[in-house]
Amino acid sequence: MTIRTVAREHLTEESLTSLESEFGERFVRIHRNALVARRAISGFQRVRGSIDEEGESSEGHWEVLLKDVPERLPISRRQWPTVKGGVEKS
């Protein structure tokens, strides 16, 4: 697994579930494959769904905005209530 910070990336053999158990008060799971430090979250943005050229529609979703990092990370529909509630409390 890769752990990313503003400064660099770190490789670890630790599982995401294990890290979540150990550091859950400092991190929030935003997706099945991602934890984010609560203090790194600057806000959230709703991304509207769209319709492609073939008429297929995609649902909108939420993304987490991070302090000092331009990349936005998608939040799964399943995790959105937990993320929103967990960050508001911290």
User: Phi/psi at 63 (nearest 5 deg)?
Assistant: -125, 150
Residues 9-43: tens digit of each pLDDT: 888 898 989 998 998 889 999 999 999 999 999 99
Residues forming beta bridges with residue 75, ordered by sequence position? 62
pTM: 0.77
Residues 61-86: tens digit of each pLDDT: 899 999 988 889 999 999 999 898 87
User: What confidence score (pLDDT) does residue 72 get?
Assistant: 92
Mean pLDDT of all residues in 53-60: 69
User: What confidence score (pLDDT) does residue 48 get?
Assistant: 84
pLDDT band at 53 (very low <50, low <70, confident <90, very high): confident
By C-alpha distance, which of 34, 35, 18, 17 is closest to 26? 35
